[in-house]
Amino acid sequence: MSTADLSEYDPSSVPDAGRMRFGIVVSDWNSQVTESLLRGAVNTLKKHGVTDNNIVVKHVPGSFELTLGAQFLAEYDDLDAIICLGCVIQGETPHFTYICQGVTNGITQLNLEYNIPFIFGVLTTLNMEQALERSGGKHGNKGDEAAVTAIKMAALQREME
């Protein structure tokens, strides 16, 4: 993956995911952006062999809720990895910082507490323009990148089991 276009990658470097099952938890805040991240993630999973019935999508109100939504998925389904998708845009108050810290720490903690990977697909941008550029615009789609990361981490775990 280059730094100019995060979604550029060599497809042959991604393991076959035909027998894997993934959860995606997506935040409804800035839904124009997060729906595009979701489309990218789903399309990329399918491109690498994941079937529709092995992609479980759940929505949460905002990025702060991604951690608990992902924990619910981990508890109630049998998944190889969980992708967390959100978009936090800086406003005039420190709210941005607290949400970013909360979700970053939360997802990190899930990675350490559960025996499956949780992927951080959350855009943290200064404005909507930057978010659009990274959700299907000139900087690619962070949803694609999150899906590739999920497949690679799930394959790594299978390899080591």
Contact residues toward ligand DLZ (CB under 6 A) are: 27, 29-30, 61-65, 86-89, 91, 95, 99
Residue of this chain nearest to ligand DLZ (CB atom):
62
Min CB(85)–ligand DLZ separation in Å: 10
Nearer to ligand DLZ by C-beta: 50 or 99?
99
Distance CA 65, CA 25 (A): 9
Q: Which is nearer to ligand DLZ, 14 or 26 (CB)?
A: 26
DSSP letters spanning 105-158: HHHHHHHHHSSS-EEEEEEEESSHHHHHHTEEETTEEHHHHHHHHHHHHHHHHH
CA–CA separation, 95 vs 84, rounded Å?
Answer: 20
95 is an active site residue = yes
Catalytic residue among 48, 59, 95, 139: 95
How do 140-141 and 135-137 pair as beta strands?
antiparallel
Q: Which is nearer to ligand DLZ, 79 or 89 (CB)?
A: 89
Catalytic residues: 95
